[in-house]
Structures are given as C-alpha cells and as structure tokens.
Structure 1
C-alpha cells in the first residue's frame, strides 16, 4: 500500500513533464502571511497554491486567545481566526496542498518545488514559513503554553496585567519584552544565564531604571510548577 498525499490540488501543476502548466504563484506556508499572499494573488486572477505540512494558521492556530487583533472587541480564538482566514482564501480559489516543501530550485524557470510526494513547477514562489519560538525545553512547557507560558509579550502581555512575570533571555527581544511588561505587570524578573546582557547597549540603562524589574544573573530555569493546569511558578538554578 502506498501513502497518498493529503492535498486537493490538480495534477496539472506537477512537474514530471515540461508540457504541463506551471502554477502562477506557489506560497510556502499557510500562516497569516501565507494565506494573505494566496488571497491577494487569487483575487488578482492568478492561480495560487499554498503548501503547508501541518494545518493552516501557523503559530496563530496554537494561540488560545487573542485580544489585539482588530475587529474582535472581545478577542478571538487563534485557531478559529486562522480557519476563517483559510475559508476566505478558499472562497477566492486558493488551493491547498498538504505537503511539506523540502526544496526549491530557483535556477530553473519555472521554479521547481519538491515535496516527499511530488514535484511542482511555479512561475513565482513566495516563502512565508514564519518563525518558531525558541523554547526552554522544560517538562510541562507544551501543556502550559497559553496557560502561563507565552512566547509573545505584546500578544499575551495583557493576560498578565498586575501579576509577577519572568522573562528568560538576554538579547534584544528579551530586553524589549521586559520593558514592555514592566509597564503593565507588578513585577518582572529578567533571568539570564550570564552576568551581562547580549542586548544592544541602549537597553541596559532603560532596564536598570525600571523600579519593578529585577535581574537574576547566572541562572537558568529548570522546572515549571503548575497548579490546576496553569503556571504557578518557575524554579531556577544558579550557575
């Protein structure tokens, strides 16, 4: 028995023979950026095919609740918003291929996209593979995502208003998130494995002047503590 790819595209965009028609626009990634790219291309009258190895939505689909997306006064569920984006793209004729793109040959014209199942040709390729958060790799981290563990301060910071929070890291992102959270949270701990930040120097003075921020130098988080399915604390080890 052979495994069948999960897709709804036609054989006309595959690349075994040069006589077959190429896709107008191939979009790699079905997060908000990829779905938007596909939507705009389809509305412009182009054949748009979106490739996604898992499910549409990207990181958005893994977000339990969003309060900062325009048009939703009471917030919205990330998965539902991602599904709505896909439905809108579908309505304009965007086709979805449930295959992971393993490589793209940009030297050929049309370009050649290879998946585990097929080869596809496309006149244009848009790469919208998004980003992945750098996780701590701790036990319970996945279970507590959206329940106290977050990877976006500006997205989820309001959930922690007037609470005590911890930011792990010493780069520009960690510094910027700590500054942002200090405006809305009661207390911010900035935990870094070294004795100085890697962040740009301009951040250092701003962080030091924050009355509700405390540096925890030469330390790494080792355990997430949960209570009734939510994050209750973090145990750190001093190096």
Structure 2
C-alpha cells in the first residue's frame, strides 16, 4: 500500500502591538507582551506546512519576518521582540499602518486561505493610514482577520525604566488609562469573515489561539494506492514446466517400443 499526501498550506501573518502599554503587568508570566510572545510561540510550534510571517507595530510598523516556512527563524525573532522604547522606535498605536503593512505581506500570496492575526491592547492614535482605509485594502485582497483585544480596560500603570544618578536601572510606574477599541477590532474581523476575541488573562489568550488553530487547519488529502500481487502466473509457469517435462519424457524414456 502506497500513501500519497497532498498538503494545502495556509499563509498566516501575525501582527503584534509592541507599544509601551504592552508592558502593563496584568498578564503572566510578567506582562501583556510576554504573554503574547509565549502564546505565539506555542501556536507556531503546532503548525506545519503553513507559511508564517511576523509584523510588529507601535507608532510605526515593521515586518520582522516575511512569509516563510522557516519556523526556527520566526521563533528566534519572536523571542527577540521588545517594546517601542527598547527598540528605539516611535511609540503609539498605529492600527491603520500596521493593518496595511500586514495586508501587503499577504497581497501576492497564492494560498487558498490567507489569514491575519491582529493583536493590540489599544486604539488607533498614530500613523498616516486610517484604519478604515486599511480595512478596505485587506478586504480587497480577500484576507480573513482574527483580531484580538489584549488586557483589561480602565485605569492602570505602565512600568517605566530609568537610570538613577549612579547609572542603575530603576523601575517606576506611570498612570495609564487602558482602552481597547472593541468596535474597530470587531468590524475588522466581521467584515473579513474572521472572528474577534477579547483576552484579559493569559489563559484566555492561549484559549483564543487554540480556537484559531482549530478553525484554520491545513488541508491534507490522503490518497491510498494498493498494489496487488498476481498469484496466478507462478502456478501457470509451474504447470507449463510439468507439461514440457511430460512431453520430453514421453518422447524419450517413457516412449513405448512398438
């Protein structure tokens, strides 16, 4: 029996918010960003035959990894992700710019299923592209968006790291009002045939990625070919040999003398 597998992979771009508010310490193991990174890592390790890309954003957006099957490379980049302040880029939440950038990564994809996982803990407050415009671009490309709102709404504190007069790194906290734009994220998902999730804890975030993993499965067609061994020819050959021997014996040893 011969088994042939036809694998139809999915193209996935993960778009992650790395604004400084992702440092808010309301999710394990330490903050929102680390919870997101750990969940993304687990998700990638469960995939196979799917090309995955990675886009990050704060006040601007960058492609860390274009679509690739090199999961080890993606995992290394995920591990290296830091917030805007640590990466020395403009802080803020440029949802429109990030959405357009991630959509551009999937624009030329030939995969039958092209999805985006968009993760943020805020609302659009930066960037030169309006989220509505970016959403129309994504819809025009035929993309499906799974959007995830991270963290709890309301007053909280962002850890701020500074150097004291001795050069030592000191952590202080700055008051912050955390707000996720549920309406925008919900429309991003609904209008593209995806789904919107809200994750206020790390376990709910992991559950969301499990749901996405089950919703977006790689298609595998298995064709079985059974090779049958013909049993008749050996017996036929044996019969022919016996028949020939009988003829020879009849013509020689067993031939009757008149």
TM-score, with normalisation over the residues of structure 2?
0.21
For the pair shown, the structure with the greater C-alpha radius of gyration is 2
TM-score, length-normalised on structure 1?
Answer: 0.23
Say which structure, 1 or 2, has more relative contact order (CA 8 Å, 6+ apart): 2
